[in-house]
Structure 1
C-alpha cells in the first residue's frame, strides 16, 4: 500500500545527497565494531542495503517493492542456515515483477504485470509456487492471480464477496490483500487483509486461506478464514509462514512528522476460530483470535549508521512492506525485509537482513 508522506519543501536533490550511492555488496552496511546487533532478545540485524535506491533496470524504475519471495526452483534453502546462491523474486506495486540476484540483490530480469484486460495492478503479495509459477495478490479488487515467469496470467483464485472493496463488498480501498504466503506442505495459501472490514471492529483484520487437494486438480479453493488483531493504528502489510506452520506478521503504520512504526510478530493461527461464517467481528463475540507474540519493534534495532530522508523514530526505519524467509535452522530464521519507497524523494528502497529466533 502506498503510504502518504509529507513532501513539504524537500527536494529530490536533497534526497539524493542523503542516500547511499555505492552499489553491490559494498553497500551492505554492517554494525560498527563493538556495536550490538540486537533489536530484542529474539531478533538481531546483520546489515542493511540501500544499493537499489532510486535506480533503474532496463528502463524500469527499481523500487516500489511490496513483496519478496525466494525463487525456490532455482535455489534451495539450506538446513544449515547458510546463504545459498540463486534468485529472489520481488514485486513492485507499479505492476513489475523483478528477479534479483540472491547475494548482491542486483536486478537480473523484469517483466510487466497486468490484469486480464491489460490494466495495471496494485500488486502487493507474492508467492513462488513449487512449480515456479508466481501467485500475486492485488489489493485493487482484491484478487489473487497465478502468473507464469514471463508474466502471463494462468489462473485466478476465488475471493469471498465480503472481502471485496466497497460497494461490491465491505473492504476499504487500499486495505485488502497485502500479505501472501504458502504454508509448509504447499497445500494452504494464506492472504492477509491490511485493515478491518467495514462493520468489523477497528484493528481486527481477516486472514483468508485457500486449499488445494488431489481432488481439486491442484487448483486452490476457498478455505478457512481467521481473525487477527493488529496494534492500535497499525495495519498488516505482510505475512510469511515459518517451517513449523506459524506466521511472521509485519505490522506497520505512519504518522506525519513522526515517521513509521514497524513491528514483527510471531503468530499462530492453528487454534483460531474459522470466521468465514461470521459476518461482523466485534471483538466481543465468541471468536478465538490468532495468537501473537511480539518479536521486535524495528525502531529498537541499532541504526547501523543509516540515514533517513524524513523524520523517523530511528533513521533505520522506512516504509517496510515486504518480507521473505531466506534461510533456517531449528528455531532460527534468516529474514529479509524491504521497504516500499513509493518512488518518493523522501523515502528509501532499503533491504534489512535479520536473524530471528522463534
Structure 2
C-alpha cells in the first residue's frame, strides 16, 4: 500500500481548499510569515517499497501549484535504488490528510543514462578498469514552472578507494520533467572541493529555492566553507554563504553571509555543537525562510526555522575568506519557529521544506524528514499553516 493515514498530532484540520497562487513574472511573493501553526504529521513506514524502489533519505521537497502535487528527492547515492525523486499527493485536507506516492522519476545524465552506484563503481575498479566516478549526492529539488522541469542540487563526493580518487564537485543542475539533466549551472570556484579551501565532504550544496517571481534562484552549503571556518572552534563565528542567481540567465548576482546558530548549552563539546542549513524557502525575491538543524548526542535533533531579509548592504563583495575580511554586514535573522518547543511533536532529521497550497485563505508549509535509511530514524511529512 502506498497511502498512509496521519499520525494525529493536532486537533485542528483545514476545512476547504482555496485558490492556488500563480507563480511567474510579476509575482511579488507571499505576505510576511511571522509564525507557523502545526497541524499534524504523516509517517511513512521504514523501507517502504514503491515501484521497486526503497522510499527513504527524503531530503528535499517542492510543490507544483498547477498540478497540485509535491516532488520529493532522495539523497540515495544509487545504493538502495537508482538516484531518484518521487511525485507525491497530499490529499484529504477537508478530512484526515494523507500522503499518496504517485510516481518515481530517476535522475539521468545528459545522455539519458541513470547514475551508477558507488558499489558499481568499486566493482568496475576491481575488474582492473579505471572508470570516472560520477555518482551524485542529491540533496534538494525545486520545481521551475516556466520550464516545467526542475533544478536539483548535489553535494558531490570527495573520497578515495585503493588510491583511486572519487571526486565529483558539488553542482546545481537543470533537468527535464522526466529526469534527464540538461546542464549544470556555473558555480563559484569557492564551491569546488580543495585541499585547504571549499566545502567539506557531506557539507556542500544542501539547499535550493526559487522565488515566486521565478527571477531569483537561491542555494547554499550546509556548513561554512573551510576558509570561512578552518576549525571546529571557529564554527561559533563562521558563516554560511547563501548565493543568489538570476534564474533566467543562470548567472550569479550576489552572495550573503548567514550566521549559524549554536546549541544553547555551552558545555557541549565543539564537535557536537554544529548547526547546519538543511533547506531554504524563498518567500519573495528578497525574503527567505532558512531551516537549521543539528543532532546533539544525548539530546537528539534540534531544528529551528528563521527568516532573513536580503538587503543591498548585506551583499558580500570580498573574495577573501569571511574570517579574514570583515568589511561586510552579515544577514540578520529572526526566529519563526523552534520545533523543539512544540508539544507532542515527532521531531526527527528534518531536511526538506516548501510552500504548499493556499488553504482556507492560509498559506501552508510542508516539511519532510530524512531517515538516512536508518531504522532508528523516521520518514515524516509535517504539515503547517500560517496564522
Quote the residue 2:152 is aligned against: 136
Q: Are the equivalent residues in 2 in contact too, given 1:161–1:168 (CA < 8 A)?
A: no
Quote the residue 1:24 is aligned against: 3
Tell me which moved more, 267-276 or 105-114: 267-276
**Mapping of 1:213-292 within 5 angstroms?**
218-232=248-262, 233-243=274-284, 245-275=286-316, 277-282=318-323, 285-292=326-333
Partners in 1 of 2:153 and 2:295 — Cα distance?
23
Quote the residue 2:245 is aligned against: 210
Quote the residue 1:296 is aligned against: 337
Q: In the alignment, which of 63, 69, 72 is matched to residue 90 of structure 1? A: 72
Q: Are the equivalent residues in 2 in contact too, given 1:72–1:132 (CA < 8 A)?
A: no
Q: What SS does structure 2 have at the residue aligned with 1:30?
A: coil
Partners in 2 of 1:113 and 1:54 — Cα distance?
20
CA positional deviation for 1:167: 3.2
**Mapping of 1:22-171 within 5 angstroms?**
24=3, 26-31=5-10, 42-74=35-67, 86-94=68-76, 95-103=83-91, 104-115=98-109, 118=115, 119-130=134-145, 131-140=147-156, 141-167=169-195, 169-171=197-199
Q: Are the equivalent residues in 2 in contact too, given 1:100–1:109 (CA < 8 A)?
A: yes
How large is the Cα RMSD of the aligned pairs?
2.5
- Judging changes above 3 Å, is the alpha-carbon distance between structure 1 residues 303 and 281 closer, same or farther for their aligned structure 2 residues? same
Q: What SS does structure 1 have at the residue aligned with 2:228?
A: coil
Q: What SS does structure 2 have at the residue aligned with 1:344?
A: coil
CA positional deviation for 1:245: 3.6
Q: In the alignment, which of 222, 236, 247 is matched to residue 194 of structure 1? A: 222
CA positional deviation for 1:328: 4.5
Quote the residue 1:319 is aligned against: 349
Partners in 1 of 2:310 and 2:322 — Cα distance?
16
Quote the residue 1:182 is aligned against: 210
Q: Are the equivalent residues in 2 in contact too, given 1:147–1:154 (CA < 8 A)?
A: yes
Q: Are the equivalent residues in 2 in contact too, given 1:272–1:290 (CA < 8 A)?
A: no
Partners in 1 of 2:137 and 2:341 — Cα distance?
31
- Judging changes above 3 Å, is the alpha-carbon distance between structure 1 residues 23 and 90 closer, same or farther for their aligned structure 2 residues? closer
Q: What SS does structure 2 have at the residue aligned with 1:199?
A: helix
Partners in 1 of 2:363 and 2:220 — Cα distance?
21
Q: Are the equivalent residues in 1 in contact too, given 2:143–2:150 (CA < 8 A)?
A: yes
Runs of 5+ unmatched residues, structure 2: 13-33, 77-82, 92-97, 116-133, 157-168, 230-234, 263-273
Deviations 1:329-355 (A, max 9, x none): 899631111000011010000111112
Deviations 1:216-240 (A, max 9, x none): xx44112211110010221101010
Q: Are the equivalent residues in 2 in contact too, given 1:181–1:240 (CA < 8 A)?
A: yes
Q: Are the equivalent residues in 2 in contact too, given 1:175–1:193 (CA < 8 A)?
A: yes
Q: What SS does structure 1 have at the residue aligned with 2:281?
A: strand
Partners in 2 of 1:346 and 1:184 — Cα distance?
37
Structure-1-length-normalised TM-score: 0.78
- Judging changes above 3 Å, is the alpha-carbon distance between structure 1 residues 23 and 135 closer, same or farther for their aligned structure 2 residues? closer
Quote the residue 1:19 is aligned against: none
Partners in 2 of 1:243 and 1:189 — Cα distance?
11
